[in-house]
Amino acid sequence: MTEEKLNVVGQSVLRRDGLGHVTGKTIFIDDINFPDMLHLKMVRSPLPHALIKGIDFTKAEKVPGFIQALTHEDVPKNIYTILCLIGVGPDEEPVLAEDKVLYKGEQIAAIVAETEDAAMEAVSKVKIDFEELPTVYDVEEALKPGTPVLKHWGTNHFVYEGHHCRRVRFGDVDKGFDESDHIIEGRYQTSPVEHAPSETTGCVARPEPDGRITVYTNTQALFFTMDNTALILGVPFQKLHFVGGTVGGGFGGKVDVIVEPIAALAAMKTGRPVKYKFTREEEMRVSSSRGAWRIYFKDGVTKDGRILARKITTYADAGAYNRHTPYAVTKHAANIAGPYNIPNVWIDAYCVYTNRQPSSAMRGFGVTPASFALEVQMDKIAETVGMDPWAIRFINAYRNGDMKPHQKVVEDATLIEVMQAAAELVGYELPEKFKKMSSLNREEA
């Protein structure tokens, strides 16, 4: 093979966007303004679960600068689910609430006005009659009979190909428990986390003379958002022109499709550019968060540290709507047993709906809470068995050629090499047998 000179790999290459950032000339969404631009602000639910009995815009319409109010009746395909593009269904989230709301802060009606202040004032004057409904906030409560049911299909969980949860079945866990010397259980609970990007979520939608709508947005998922927006608005994809790429922090918080469809609709209705950008409060209280997870482990382990059986029941709190959680649960289910070679694994992973602000993607997509619970559990195993936490992980580490619980052959194992490097970096002297291990093969017993 001839040796090629590499121009980028191995070199320190200055960022293309760096000069814009250090001079403040990078254009973020809030820096985009047009002379005839309108502002959109949202009427939101003050209640976590309620029926909407009526909406009265009379006083809002009298605010100087008020242009238009939009409700679900104005949205061509109001009920959607973001992941419909990869076959996830059924649709379940309204762009604007219809007869009920499922979380505090849910979008009910959009107010478009000449200025941000006028839009906010008009929002404050919209009167809504609610009938409050009982709420559910706990993932396990949500699955019990007699709990308020949030979804039109009659359950508080997502349905995976006809099943109540995402299931992994591998070997026979009961047999594994019988053959074990220790049964080690653990319950793990994580909290929701807000991404809190420095720049809040937002977009500007502008009608063009040729009938297209240009949407300047800080989404992290430009084409996904454009396709969903086209479906919601019932327009051909080529009618939309999405401009993006500059994101003032996202971390997964800007992959949902929330501001663009309604701003584009408002631009179509008014024939003027419309800006819809979250306030900091909206970003904190209304935008999707990382979900809270509750994870139960039951492990069967021999006295010399081999994990023979692992049974996991895990619940993702999706909040009120899907967003990206059904997918996060699938990723979670594929990763929660860990990078370990365990002959018997049983996993039930639930995507549960509650009256909380929807959760969605955030760095790791369901895998981060899995790793947290899993590795604390591994330490707990080490402590119970009376072994070094490093040893427990080397003994159980998977190797290339092993079968993962979700029936995929391991092809890219690096756990052993990563642990060897980590031990060296922290100055921990590993026993010779662990230093000699390799992910590529399994040594003779």
Partner 1 sequence: MASKIVTFTLNGRRIEVLVKPLTTVQTLLRDQLGLTSTKAGCKQGGCGSCTVLVNGDPMMSCLLPVEDVQGQEVTTLEGITPTPGLHIIQEVFYENFAIQCGYCTPGMIMVSKALLDRNPHPGREEIIDALTGNYCRCTGYEPIIQAIEEAARRMNGNGN
- Contact between 11 and partner 1 by CB under 8 A: the answer reads no
Told to check if 58 binds partner 1 by CB under 8 A, we report: no
The yes or no reply on residue 199 touching partner 1 (CB under 8 A) is yes
Contact 158, 366 (CB under 8 A): no
CB 56, min distance to partner 1, A: 30
Whole-angstrom Cα Rg for the chain = 26
Exposure string over 22-61, b if 16+ CB within 10 A, otherwise e:
eeeeeebbeebeeeebbbbbbbbbebbbbebeebebeebe
Would the CA dihedral through 62, 64, 68, 72 be positive or negative?
A: negative
Closer to partner 1 at the Cβ: 187 or 363? Answer: 363
Unique residue bearing structure tokens 């939309």: 240
What is the Cα–Cα distance from 358 to 325, expressed in whole angstroms? 9
User: Interaction with partner 1 in 280-309: which residues (CB under 8 A)?
Assistant: 280
* Whole-number Cα distances in Å, 276 to 15, 200, 385: 29, 11, 56
Choose the binding region for partner 1 from 20-28, 50-58, 302-310, 435-443 (rule: CB under 8 A).
20-28
Site membership for partner 1, residue 82 (CB under 8 A): no
138 binds partner 1 (CB under 8 A): no
Structure tokens at 344: 């018997």
Q: Does 22 bind partner 1 (CB under 8 A)?
A: yes
Q: Does 26 engage in binding with partner 1 (CB under 8 A)?
A: yes
CB 49 within 8 A of CB 320: no
Q: Based on the shown chain and the rule CB under 8 A, indicate whether residue 5 belongs to the binding site for partner 1.
A: no
Total residues in contact with partner 1, by rule CB under 8 A: 31
Q: Report which of 419, 430, 402 is spatially closest to residue 337, judged by C-alpha positions.
A: 402
The residue from 48, 94, 176, 197 that contacts partner 1 (CB under 8 A) is 197
28 interacts with partner 1 by CB under 8 A: yes
Q: CB under 8 A: which stretch of 206-214, 249-257, 364-372, 429-437 binds partner 1?
A: 249-257
Q: Is 25 in the site for partner 1 (CB under 8 A)?
A: yes
Q: Does 29 bind partner 1 (CB under 8 A)?
A: no
- Using CB under 8 A as the binding rule, whether residue 198 contacts partner 1 is answered as yes
Residues that bind partner 1 (CB under 8 A): 14-15, 17-28, 30-31, 33, 195-200, 246-251, 279-280
